[in-house]
Amino acid sequence: MAGYPYTSLHDLALKDIEWERWQRLVNSIAALFNSPVAFINQASNKGIEVLVASELPTTHYSPGGSASIETNVYCHKVVRSNSPLYVKDASKTNEWDNNPEVTEDNYVSYLVYPIHWPDGKCFGTLCVMDTSPTNYKQPFLEMLEVLRDVISSDLAHLYKESELKIESRLDPLTEIHNRRGFEEAFIQFQKLGNRLNRAAQLLFIDLNNFKKINDTLGHNAGDEVLKRFANVLRSCIRKTDLLCRWGGDEFVIILNNEDKVAQKEFIERIKEKQENDFKNYGYKEICFSVGAVEVVPNINCDLAQLLHKADNIMYSCKKD
């Protein structure tokens, strides 16, 4: 069974992570709590993965080790609830009878705070464990919470840096990929499709009667139409698809689906949502034309060629 939907920080090899500071922090926690082990863990695609472990002979898990999604370990409960957990003595309940941290390593006490991504979702955990029952006073609980906030702050900084790096690749009006961002993303998308030997569909979309909106209602109304249409497209795609404002009133989508029937259903879904949204705002005359081509894996065909072919098909549809 798959783990959580986030890539491991270890696999990403990010240079902006404060690994040394995190290591000192974890070592200090173990010392302050006089405990045999402390960890920073991530809820990643590997399950619960150890990112940083206290450097003690009593620490039985190393960075890179993980517990699968099916394993009954303390951290899974914290990540799923996104809330702190303090187990003073695991032997007092049968909830942890099959927890290998208890049965194999005798970590019967567990204090943890969830670490958060900037959007509030659970990134992982900061935890301290002991082989003896504990009864930590409130100041110790508050201290671990503050240290957790330090790590969450580091993640927020990393997240902001990533946003700045992609800012030039977003269209400022619609907040989707601009041409540059799409071209870069397409290269990676095509490489993956080639490795998996999996086809996809490229859709070139042009708004009809858009010039009329600009001429009769003004450019502010035109901008509103573009933003609304981008939101319609965004609501129809999946995370594995690519969406771009190519320029003016032209949009491009890479539909990560080999099924041409699914492509037709996708276009119908766009039409339905666009019509429902636009008729409430006086833009009834706005519709769109689509040219669709298949992105065939391991065929020497670049984005410019695909777009040219799709553009021709789209204009043929407009004439019909």
Q: What is the pLDDT along the chain (320 residues), one digit of tens a residue?
A: 457 877 788 876 666 678 899 999 999 999 999 999 999 999 988 899 999 999 999 998 999 889 998 999 999 999 999 999 999 999 999 999 999 999 999 999 999 999 988 767 899 999 999 999 999 999 999 999 999 999 988 887 765 554 444 456 888 899 899 998 899 888 888 887 787 677 889 999 999 888 888 888 888 888 999 999 999 999 998 877 889 999 999 999 998 877 777 888 999 999 999 988 887 666 667 889 999 999 998 888 889 999 999 999 998 877 65
pLDDT of residue 168: 63
Domain boundaries, the chain: 9-163, 170-319
Please give the CATH architecture assigned to the domain spanning 170-319. Answer: 2-Layer Sandwich (3.30)
Fold match, 9-163 / 170-319? no
9-163 CATH choice from 2.60.40.10, 3.40.50.720, 3.30.450.40, 3.30.230.20: 3.30.450.40
61 contacts 38 by C-beta, under 8 angstroms: no
Res 2: pLDDT:
59
**Number of Cβ atoms within 10 Å of the Cβ of 18:** 14
Phi, psi of 32 (to 5 degrees): -65, -40
The predicted pLDDT at position 14 comes to 61
Here the tokens at position 303 are 């984005």
> How far apart, in whole angstroms, are the C-alpha atoms of residue 74 and residue 124?
12
Write down the pLDDT at residue 196: 64
Residue type, 40: I
| Residue type present at position 139 | P
**Going by C-beta distance under 8 Å and a sequence separation of 6 or more, which residues neighbour residue 63?**
10, 50, 51, 52, 53
Q: What pLDDT does 164 receive?
A: 44
Provide the pLDDT for residue 297.
Answer: 86
User: How far does CA 316 lie from the centroid of its chain?
Assistant: 38
Entry pTM? 0.55
